[in-house]
A and B are shown apart, each in its own frame.
Chain A
Amino acid sequence: MAVHIPYIDKPNPVTGVTNAKLGVWLFLASEVMLFGALFSALITLRLGVSDWPHGYDVLNVPLATLNTVVLIFSSVTVVMAWASLKMHNLKQFKTYMSLTLLMSFIFLGIKAVEYGTKFSHGISPATSNFYAIYFVITGLHGLHILGGIIVNAYLLGPGSHMWKSEPERFTGRIECAGLYWHFVDLVWIFLFPILYLL
């Protein structure tokens, strides 16, 4: 027998938001602690090691700048996908969600080029403390992009059938997926200057 989960499309009278949305925010809070611990490790390493390289000397700043623009654009397209559903326009939603997915793949493609160049020069996480934390943080961020791609692709494809039967619930799902995607963008907004520009 299916279990009915209350307040997944209507706001819970206690919190004022849907249970789904509060759940996503709690999940994002745990994500802040995950990345926060890694930022803490980065500071610890940087304070403790005397020969820390400048990111702009050893990493590809133009490619990372392009990736920043790509990710910022994907944040706009995912919020536009949600706004399209609020305006009852499924076709426009699909266009913006497709654009979001395209930007996600471009981001990962550019990251693969960056990683490939490093590996071809014999640089790996074992090379130094700097590269160890660089590969761990950007690798984990890349995995988050991959997770977002899977969720967004599902919502664009088979998941979008929910629009016909439960449009409000589907719009809520897109908002929750969007919150996650914006968080992934937020992490990159801090990673970019800290790793590449200082």
Chain B
Amino acid sequence: MASEHMSVEEVKKHIKVYWMIFGSLLVLTAVTVGISYIHLSFTFAVILALVVASTKASLVALYFMHLISEKTAIYLTLALTAVLFVILIVVPWMIPMGAMRSWLVS
């Protein structure tokens, strides 16, 4: 149910969820820091760090920002944003490494 239409009883139920999410986020923060003390290969460390960070971000977005029960207009806005964000992140991987290094050094 969208946040505008929540009754007092529904809000009370949500409050319990908020504190449970808070606990989960603390545990995941400890996991994030713990992973950094284990000497993993760089690629595996990056993947693991991003998986944990994405899980934490999803919890915040779904429950604190109420995206779990939002309207289509918001989902469409975010879907377009997500596509453009992925393009931004993928672009650096497509730049020829040699050209980039000489540009950064100069």
Contacts and interface: CB of A to CB of B under 8 A. Distances in A.
Q: Are A and B subunits of one complex?
A: yes
Interface of A: 11, 14-18, 21-22, 25-26, 29, 32-33, 36-37, 39-40, 43-45, 47-50, 56, 61, 65, 68-69, 72-73, 75-76, 79-80, 82-83, 86-88, 129, 172, 175, 178-179, 182-183, 185-186, 189-190, 192-194, 196-198
Interface residues of A, dominant DSSP = helix
A40 B89 contact: yes
Contact of A189 (B57, B84, B100): B57
A33 B64 contact: no
Contacts, number: 146
Contact of B4 (A17, A26, A69): A17
B105 to A, nearest CB: 9
Nearest to B103: A48
A83 B15 contact: yes
Contact of A44 (B35, B53, B95): B95
Nearest to B32: A193
B67 to A, nearest CB: 10
Contacts of B56: 189
B85 A36 contact: yes
A47 B4 contact: no
A190 B57 contact: yes
